[in-house]
Structure 1
């Protein structure tokens, strides 16, 4: 998106043709409304950026199939010349002709034609340069098939377009739509425009439409159409005074037969433009963030950045991208339909005159410094208010205009510096991610780099494969409440991205749920399928490694068992109840994890959930699952099996912000190795400390220590299912208890440690060597040799440690002891993998000094 600068935001509105209510498609589903089809096709127009085209910004649906399109707008147009009644000079006419052709040629390269070219759709900016408006109307309406009005204006339509007649989709007498117009149709319209500029008046303006059409069609019998038009409008002398090359240009444009009429690209190379073309620099599309070409920013900043914004009348907001300005206007309460209604010109295209001034945002805010020591919020007149805004709920922050402006500018700079500023993107994402840049921010968090478009293009998405049928069945059921994803264009994109993933991962298969996983990425990158595919391809191995194997039962079963252990670890009372009524995760949690909750929540909740999920590692989904259960805790504890089944068949409303907040807390209390899975993705590098210093020992993905003897040992699934508490590795325990020499000096803390080691060996074994700081609760004093409870260990010293992470240590009976603690609702209980024997070779066991 280019800067707003001297442009305005304008809007035009129209109705899509209505469909009958009692007709279904071939798949048995109701027909997709034409307004939804138009909305889907419109999206690609937002990516068409050129100096000669008015930038499209947004589209919205109203009642009764009304559509409102927001686009760049300028007050001046060629119709102003006509109202003056003066002929334009040859130089001005050639300039306008050349600039219109530039825009038309660029459109043609993207498979578009204008078809609605007219004097009031050729706008002029403050420098008098051409800006073509409504150039996408023909494309978004499927060449006029989705509306009940013709695309184009009779005075400017080419003869071959008029000869096709008017087509109404609802008319049963028309079996087939007319062939779409080609680029040459716009050349005729341009010829009429240029002729009007030369004549200083409109053509066929005072003649009835039927007479206009007849006259244009009869021009096919004329040898010199330009002369005939000049005689008809009494301006033959004016045309004769034009330079011969200009008249020849008019003749080429107004060639009756399309086969002999040149295209915009051919006309641009015409010698008539030789003098003028040397003053124009060919347009070069900016290099995208993900490409093989090198990107660089040419910055020339003053020593004092405040020098950039000394002028009081500087309009810094106009330097921001058009879509940003519109987004901020909407946040400030802007409503396009209401604007049009208030002005009583709903069918017109007025400029948006109520853009917020954002006067409190000083110039420095538009040039944030990116050094680590700088504050995330730049200084402004309302900096205190902005600092307070950070503490507000996310949904409020996302609707705060000034706050979003600051965040958008900051992320825009960070993403332009990606991957160099990757760490800062992570840092700022922990605060929040502005919705406007969420797609690119997610891509950065997933580490997407390189020429993703070339890779995506190289994948065969056309050859039929066995999975095609299942994909066709799933797509019409996937988040179809969303207008964008339910459009035919959305379905086509869904199909291509999903098929690309299946084809490029031959060792994996398509499982139902993959479409739901794709939905957030496709929605955020609707006009960049390659990025949606790249993000999905990076997301799945990170969070769903081997979930899409043909036989994934062992992966799923291990995952569900670890989830069960996480429930017992964080909420043993709830775990005991669910186990007692046999309401196991297999009955409700498979769709959660197979789709990473996209099958459970609507997209707007998934966006907030995944903003945090992408900062965590593969164990974070366990914490989300536990957080969801805790929101339903009271109802689950009060109900039996059948009631719980019904509860999850129609999941109650979940407070997603509370879910995220509690998930982070659970994540920070979970030791790294407690979520170890032997079927998880092997790690190459250490995980990020995603949630800050508090999570330093608890947040990273578990991985083997340099000493493999201290790591977790793989456990057979049958043995794992017998466990009641998660295991932690010896390496993890050493870190958590801070037993390394470098950490001992740091143990003087004001707060209590989060962990306690409970050694359940008998007193004699304990005295021969134990972990420093551990407590001894002898198993043989609490349980008989046959496992009968003699004395509840939780009534003694252990009660003082309730709430901390309790690591049970022994050389035997760890499982039985920890199971009893869970049974009596003791939270955060885990056992040391390998027992005390794992620690003996480390030299970290201590022997108490003898009493003197």
Structure 2
């Protein structure tokens, strides 16, 4: 969106038509409220940005089908201009006409018609330029079908609109629905406005509405409508004195038959504007972030470089985008309904006063007429920014223009930097509601994303702190590595030809996150259908599984007006986290995934793992919807946003840690219950603290050796050079890439048959992982890393003789035959005492044979030892490395 500058924020309200409560649609579901339909259509209006149109910002839905619309607003209108100026010069009339036509033409290109033009809805900015307001009312209400009031003003309506009468488009009892108005209806309305400018008076204002309408209809048998109107209003002399080009323009606008009346596009190239059109440069749509066009193609520096320096009293907030300012206004305590109530646009009444009638004891009743508060009041209330500006008064001007190369924290650029530094440590939900903090974060991310993909690493770095909700959609796209002309690719996909999956998609969409107003709207369903179908068509080797709609929901919600970006994000997300999950036969993929997850439970919480295994409550019973939808099926969207902010920073193994973190939040209830109670618990999952879940997931992730979550059905290694900075801060260097992406060597983990994988309780780690974690000497140099890594203990369970022939430096010897008693208890001895003292470290069990190592690890898990792993390939994997140590002989 364009900057606020000298504009203001305005709000107006209206009611959608109420629907009967006892009527269902053809699918058996309740009818979608008209307010929800309007809310869905409104989203497109936020993308319509033109210098001659007031920018739409937001819409909110209240009680009783009330809708409040927030838009760019100016105090001055054409009506005020007429009152201030006695006579308007012909040149000014042509300029106003040309600017209005530019706005109308741009609307028409997007399939919209104003239909509500009047002197109050033609606003003027600080430079006297035209700004058309309320241009989306006709579109968002489905040509008036979703409201009980007509769209338009009788004095300005075109004859063909008046001839249709007051037929309500949604009323089947009134016969065939009228055709929607076309672009030429606005040309008539503009002609009336221009006539009033030239004549210096309002038309048909002192005449009853019925008489006005009759008069306009009778103009059909008149050749020169302009002259008749001038005679009727006593301004014939003023009209005759107009230049020929102005008179010609009026006559072309006020043509009775729409077939002969020009469109806005035709009028713009008419010779009457020959001396005016050269004053206006053609409008160029700003280039988006993901496009084939150069974003910096038209950047220019001013001739005087000092113009870049801002004065101390510069209005920095005005340089921010309108939607940013409104977002901050809401955070600073802005309340739309309160603002409208203060101006008496919304009038609250006691419930008894809203009853249809009163019945007295003697049976006499007193009815009341229609409540006028439910009728349209087109007053636009200006939203005061004083509270927001006061909240941001301590933010220094430098904070609005952060230096991306500055090594210091971006938070130091504010006079209240200590406050902001403290804010970073607060819970995420508080940070997201802090006005000053969000301003700093939004500005920083906005600049980083404008420099994407050049500043991709900095986007990753800042995303570890948090992601501002306002620009989460673009930030996620950057984290997923979306690049290129995504719109062209999306447009090239056939989303219209029927396919067998259509039926299942139609069934699933009305059940997917329908508590959300946006996704439950008809526009939301339509976009859902298109994005899902585009994914299915463009991935012929995969199939649609139930749950894909839930996976699509977060991307669609964040990019509601950019289906191409929602599709691109979804297409990048699935291969990274759900590779081959959507194969026609995905049983082997899911079974391997669930087995690794089961091993992760045993690795991090052996007591819980033992209990769940004893009662037979295996991950197959509850975890498939978790991982198939990456938790979008079990959590509402607002929790998914916070969860995925962190998920996207991790590699494909991070979902395992999220799953374990969820189980640990339910740990006490799970340990206290049996199988049936656990089934009931997961059928209606209790409230999960997402922030705690995220925090614990990161801790679990940093304690998990990267090869422990190896899956042979995971995504194959990416091409060389295609890397991203994953991870979580300092400890993340060890996890900078997915284990699957690392080049395979003789020390890497070997693929394992699913039956063998299921037979092992603890995960395996690779020899290269062991070398890295133990920081063993490689090539004569000790391998050191600045990153913190899991503390590790190597336990060699071979015989004393084999241990003496060569072992890993720092490992302890606990022969398998002496470690456990016949009943499975750990035998107390010096070696096991050492093991007990290192409890909590990652334990790597090393043996000749994997079977004995797996059995030893299983015994350790049964006695509740956490973080137990086995070395894949055993000691034989380590022999060729030359890293085995032989103890010196005792003298």
Above 0.5 in TM-score? yes
Counterpart Cα distance in 2 of 1:60 and 1:705:
49
Q: Which residue of 1 aligns with 2:360?
A: none
Counterpart Cα distance in 2 of 1:185 and 1:740:
82
Q: Which residue of 2 aligns with 1:836?
A: 875
Q: Which residue of 2 aligns with 1:276?
A: 276
Write the deviation string for residues 501-556 of structure 1: whole angstroms up to 9, x where unpaired: 00000000000000000000000000000000000000000000000000000000
> Which of 559, 581, 591 is equivalent to 1:557?
591
**Matched residue SS, 1:68:** strand
The answer to whether the aligner puts 1:314 opposite 2:314 as a matched pair is: yes
> Which of 377, 380, 387 is equivalent to 1:349?
380
Q: Which residue of 1 aligns with 2:827?
A: 791
Write the deviation string for residues 140-164 of structure 1: whole angstroms up to 9, x where unpaired: 0000000000011011110111111
| 1:302/1:589 CA distance change after superposition, 3 Å | farther
**Matched residue SS, 1:247:** helix
Q: Which residue of 1 aligns with 2:702?
A: 668
| 1:130/1:797 CA distance change after superposition, 3 Å | same
1:519-534, aligned counterparts within 5 Å?
519-534=553-568
Q: Which residue of 2 aligns with 1:259?
A: 259
Write the deviation string for residues 343-399 of structure 1: whole angstroms up to 9, x where unpaired: 223343111114411110111001101116232324221011111111110000000
**Matched residue SS, 1:282:** coil
| 1:338/1:832 CA distance change after superposition, 3 Å | same
Normalised TM-score (structure 1): 0.97
The answer to whether the aligner puts 1:147 opposite 2:183 as a matched pair is: no
Q: Which residue of 2 aligns with 1:568?
A: 602
**Matched residue SS, 1:93:** helix
Q: Which residue of 1 aligns with 2:855?
A: 816
Moved more, 95-104 or 78-87: 78-87
**Matched residue SS, 1:173:** helix
Shift of 1:311: 2.2
The answer to whether the aligner puts 1:163 opposite 2:168 as a matched pair is: no
Shift of 1:699: 5.8
The answer to whether the aligner puts 1:511 opposite 2:548 as a matched pair is: no
> Which of 817, 822, 837 is equivalent to 1:780?
817
Shift of 1:673: 0.5
Q: Which residue of 1 aligns with 2:203?
A: 203
The answer to whether the aligner puts 1:848 opposite 2:887 as a matched pair is: yes
Q: Which residue of 2 aligns with 1:802?
A: 839
| 1:404/1:657 CA distance change after superposition, 3 Å | same
Shift of 1:695: 3.0
Q: Which residue of 2 aligns with 1:92?
A: 92
| 1:470/1:753 CA distance change after superposition, 3 Å | closer
Shift of 1:781: 1.6
Write the deviation string for residues 257-308 of structure 1: whole angstroms up to 9, x where unpaired: 0100000010001111111111110000011111111121737599999x95
Write the deviation string for residues 614-638 of structure 1: whole angstroms up to 9, x where unpaired: 0001100000000000000000000
Q: Which residue of 1 aligns with 2:44?
A: 44
Q: Which residue of 2 aligns with 1:758?
A: 795
| 1:410/1:652 CA distance change after superposition, 3 Å | same
The answer to whether the aligner puts 1:585 opposite 2:622 as a matched pair is: no
Q: Which residue of 1 aligns with 2:473?
A: 439
Q: Which residue of 1 aligns with 2:582?
A: 548
Counterpart Cα distance in 1 of 2:630 and 2:110:
36
Q: Which residue of 2 aligns with 1:324?
A: 324
Q: Which residue of 2 aligns with 1:728?
A: 765
- Contact 2:158–2:185 (CA under 8 A) maintained in structure 1: yes
> Which of 771, 778, 795 is equivalent to 2:808?
771
Q: Which residue of 2 aligns with 1:714?
A: 751
**Matched residue SS, 1:323:** helix
Counterpart Cα distance in 1 of 2:272 and 2:732:
70
Shift of 1:177: 2.5
**Matched residue SS, 1:146:** coil
Moved more, 322-331 or 706-715: 706-715
Counterpart Cα distance in 2 of 1:777 and 1:483:
62
Q: Which residue of 1 aligns with 2:353?
A: none
Counterpart Cα distance in 1 of 2:643 and 2:738:
19
Shift of 1:87: 3.2
**Matched residue SS, 2:13:** strand
1:53-68, aligned counterparts within 5 Å?
53-68=53-68
**Matched residue SS, 1:696:** helix
Q: Which residue of 2 aligns with 1:466?
A: 500
Moved more, 686-695 or 154-163: 686-695
Counterpart Cα distance in 2 of 1:390 and 1:476:
39
**Matched residue SS, 1:350:** strand
Counterpart Cα distance in 1 of 2:724 and 2:890:
45
- Contact 1:59–1:69 (CA under 8 A) maintained in structure 2: yes
Moved more, 99-108 or 694-703: 694-703
Moved more, 227-236 or 741-750: 741-750
Q: Unmatched 5+ residue regions in structure 2?
A: 347-376
The Cα RMSD (Å) is 2.1
1:188-227, aligned counterparts within 5 Å?
188-227=188-227
| 1:780/1:377 CA distance change after superposition, 3 Å | same
**Matched residue SS, 1:100:** helix
Shift of 1:696: 2.8
Counterpart Cα distance in 2 of 1:62 and 1:7:
26
Counterpart Cα distance in 2 of 1:175 and 1:513:
43
- Contact 1:668–1:699 (CA under 8 A) maintained in structure 2: no
| 1:742/1:231 CA distance change after superposition, 3 Å | farther
Q: Which residue of 2 aligns with 1:827?
A: 866
Shift of 1:694: 1.3
Counterpart Cα distance in 2 of 1:216 and 1:207:
12
Q: Which residue of 1 aligns with 2:358?
A: none
Q: Which residue of 1 aligns with 2:361?
A: none
**Matched residue SS, 1:278:** helix
Counterpart Cα distance in 1 of 2:22 and 2:221:
48
Shift of 1:313: 1.6
Q: Unmatched 5+ residue regions in structure 1?
A: none
Write the deviation string for residues 722-744 of structure 1: whole angstroms up to 9, x where unpaired: 00100000011111111144896
The answer to whether the aligner puts 1:657 opposite 2:691 as a matched pair is: yes
Counterpart Cα distance in 1 of 2:541 and 2:140:
39
Q: Which residue of 2 aligns with 1:500?
A: 534
Moved more, 379-388 or 683-692: 683-692
Counterpart Cα distance in 2 of 1:717 and 1:659:
30
- Contact 2:814–2:832 (CA under 8 A) maintained in structure 1: no
Q: Which residue of 2 aligns with 1:367?
A: 401
Write the deviation string for residues 605-662 of structure 1: whole angstroms up to 9, x where unpaired: 0000000000001100000000000000000000000000000000000000000000
| 1:804/1:625 CA distance change after superposition, 3 Å | same
The answer to whether the aligner puts 1:415 opposite 2:454 as a matched pair is: no
- Contact 2:800–2:813 (CA under 8 A) maintained in structure 1: yes
| 1:797/1:85 CA distance change after superposition, 3 Å | closer
The answer to whether the aligner puts 1:693 opposite 2:724 as a matched pair is: no
Aligned residues: 850
Moved more, 83-92 or 774-783: 83-92
Q: Which residue of 1 aligns with 2:366?
A: none
Write the deviation string for residues 445-495 of structure 1: whole angstroms up to 9, x where unpaired: 000000100110011100010000100000000000000000000000000
**Matched residue SS, 2:698:** helix
Q: Which residue of 2 aligns with 1:383?
A: 417
- Contact 1:150–1:167 (CA under 8 A) maintained in structure 2: no
